[in-house]
């Protein structure tokens, strides 16, 4: 369901397509989880997000930050949640040193590519100061690049950056 690629910030990109920010009261997420302990978590968060949050001392805080990221992502896309994209179409994963990164489902990548007629990459920043959690998301277009064979090629600079790949490459 999810493409397993994760990459660092590209050296160049075409343009910023959207930004979104969201602020969540951690206590609100905690109350929702107490009222609907299984259905709320399963409806909103991927298995990997659940595993990560449950491994923490304060899982509600991790869930709240990921919830804020999903809301910020929905705002950045301009599509919202429900008609085209679902809660589980984007997930926040943590890299080995803890940095958060967005990973989109294949369907989400295709919807965004169709919306902007170019491949899209998302970036996220998470922050918290109890009782609040905040997320900032930026979506960038990669329209001036040829993305294949796990390499980002910028024709203007005639150089490649490893780690980028368009899921539509043969």
pLDDT at 86 over 70: yes
**Pair 1, 51: CB distance under 8 Å:** no
Query: How many C-beta atoms lie closer than 10 Å to residue 82's C-beta?
Result: 9
Q: Could you confirm whether domain 15-143 is CATH 3.90.470.20? A: yes
Q: What is the pTM of this model?
A: 0.77
Per the DSSP assignment, residues forming a β-bridge with 25 are 132
Indicate the helix (H) or strand (E) that contains 63: helix 59-77
At 144 the pLDDT is: 57
Q: Please write the tens of the pLDDT for every residue from 111-142.
A: 999 999 989 999 999 999 999 999 999 999 98
CA distance 62 to 52: 8
Other beta carbons less than 10 A from residue 62's beta carbon: 25
Q: How confident is the model at residue 11 (pLDDT cuts 50, 70, 90)?
A: very low
Asked whether residue 157 carries a pLDDT value surpassing 50, the answer given is: no
**Mean pLDDT, all residues of the chain:** 82
**Contact partners, residue 46, CB within 8 Å, separation at least 6:** 2, 88, 91
Q: What is the mean pLDDT of residues 40-55?
A: 95
Chain segment 53-71, per-residue pLDDT in tens: 999 999 999 999 999 999 9
Q: Which secondary-structure segment (H or E) carries 54?
A: helix 47-54
**What confidence score (pLDDT) does residue 159 get?**
38
Q: What is the pLDDT of residue 5?
A: 54
Quick one: pLDDT at residue 142? 84
- Does 1 or 28 have the greater pLDDT score? 28
Task: Quote the tokens at residue 162.
Answer: 């490893």
- Band (pLDDT 50/70/90 cuts) for residue 156 is very low
């Amino acid at each position: 369901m999810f493409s397993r690629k994760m990459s660092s910030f590209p050296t160049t990109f075409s343009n910023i397509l959207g930004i979104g920010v969201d602020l969540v009261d951690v206590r609100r997420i905690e109350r929702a989880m107490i009222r609907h302990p299984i259905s709320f978590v399963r409806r909103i968060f991927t298995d990997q997000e659940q595993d990560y949050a449950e491994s923490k001392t304060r899982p509600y805080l991790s869930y709240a930050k990921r919830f804020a990221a999903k809301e910020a992502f929905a705002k950045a896309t301009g599509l919202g949640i429900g008609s085209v994209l679902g809660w589980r179409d984007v997930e926040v994963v943590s890299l080995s040193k803890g940095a958060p990164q967005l990973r989109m489902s294949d369907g989400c990548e295709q919807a965004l590519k169709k919306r902007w007629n170019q491949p899209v990459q998302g970036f996220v920043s998470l922050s918290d100061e109890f009782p609040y959690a905040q997320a900032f998301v930026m979506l960038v277009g990669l329209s001036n690049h040829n993305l294949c064979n796990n390499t980002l090629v910028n024709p203007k600079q005639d150089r490649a950056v490893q780690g980028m790949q368009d899921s539509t490459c043969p």
